[in-house]
Amino acid sequence: MGKQSLQILPTDDEHGRLLKAQLNQGIQEHWWETRPIDISGTEPPFTPVIECLTDMRVAAQRLWTGQPNELAPWLEEFVVAAKHWESYTRLRAEIGALAPDRLYYVTRHRLRAEADLWKVKNGAKGRAAPPAANQGDKGKVAGGEWLGEKTLPPSLFPSVVLPPPPDKGDPKWDEKRAEQFAKRCPRLNGKSGPSVEVGDGTFEKLLKARVHQGLLQLRWYWTGGRGAGPDEYSLRCDCLDDTALALVELLGPEPKELAPWLEELLVDAKEFERHTQLRVEAGALRPSRLNQVTRTRLKIEAELWKVKNAK
């Protein structure tokens, strides 16, 4: 990812110049992030560097659409960079300097980069999601302040409910809450999760591995794991969003298989939204965190709506 391989050509239009400028900014940002880190002070946030690599990967795919020979070397370098950060994160997690969710997060994005590279090298488009119909969901909420500033948008799926919480004074509250979610969401808990089958190709294996990393991260939160620092909410939102996207790509042609997965992710997203709302109301979090979590819940609902209303 050096400047010597990124040049503005006379044939580049405005869009191409913008994309190359975007890539150049990412290269500079990543260069700064790869400098030696002073680990004696506060732990640096991990999401910016992974977001940087993801943003550059998307820009490269848009810039060299239909040009696999140009795109593949860039994607290979993104995979190399992702592997570097995964190795660094794994070492830090193994000595207890980082929470496990950091490692799950970085590994998911390494797998995502590898899946994109595999598609380019194999001329594959992946597995498409089903088209949406014009019918609404039977459980749709009528009306509601969808665009209100101080009220949460309603859920299109009120039947997707959270398990009842244990008694507040129970000393094993976290343990029992984890048991309730494991029972409510058997797929996320691994009881009927994705497994690599004999007929699976490389692309399917990458997607299933990515989903598996997402499930490990979500289970860590269920069992009392708490993120720390500026990344806490971004990491969990990214996990929900990315796991949903991977499942849509993996199971898109099979809506009956996909819908239960998205419903369980929605359970988790609703619980996260409930927890975040309580903390915002108590003054422990900025309101923008609730906006972030609610956006994630709405994205999962949108994917679930498309699946349930597929033709």
- The predicted model scores a pTM of 0.80
The pLDDT, as a whole number, for residue 131 is 45
For position 266, what pLDDT does the model report? 96
pLDDT at 285 (0 to 100): 86
Residue 250, classed as helix, strand or coil, is helix
Tokens 């991990």 belong to 46
Write the DSSP symbol of residue 185: -
Q: How many angstroms separate the CA atoms of 69 and 21, rounded?
A: 21
Could you tell me what percent of the chain has a pLDDT over 90? 38
DSSP state of 269: H
Residue 203 scores a pLDDT above 90: yes
**Residue length of the chain:** 311
- The residue type of 288 is S
Residue 159 has what pLDDT?
87
Task: Mark out the alpha helices in the chain (DSSP H runs).
Answer: 14-33, 47-63, 68-94, 100-122, 173-184, 202-222, 232-251, 255-281, 287-308
Compare 202 and 133 and report the one with higher pLDDT: 202
CA distances from 259 to 224, 263, 264, 303 (A): 27, 6, 9, 9
CA 131-137-143 angle, 5° bins: 120
Contacts of 157 (CB under 8 A, 6+ apart): 137, 139, 263, 266, 301, 304
Q: Which of 88-92, 100-104, 164-168, 249-253 has the lowest mean pLDDT?
A: 164-168
Task: For 259-273, write each residue's pLDDT tens digit.
Answer: 999 999 999 999 999
Nearest-CA neighbor of 109 among 134, 146, 137, 84? 84
Q: Which of 56-60, 88-92, 128-132, 234-238 has the lowest average pLDDT?
A: 128-132
pLDDT tens digits, 32-44: 777 665 544 445 5
In the numeric block, which tokens belong to residue 184?
């409510």
Helix (H, G, I), strand (E, B) or coil at 56: helix
Average pLDDT, the chain: 83
Least confident interval from 5-9, 159-163, 186-190: 5-9
Longest dimension (CA), the chain: 70
Q: What is the pLDDT of residues 114-167, one digit of tens each?
A: 999 999 999 876 554 444 444 444 444 444 457 777 778 888 888 888 888 777
**Residue 72's pLDDT band (boundaries 50, 70, 90)?**
very high
CA 125 to chain CA mean position, Å: 20
Q: How far apart are CA 285 and CA 13, in angstroms?
A: 44
23-52: average pLDDT = 70
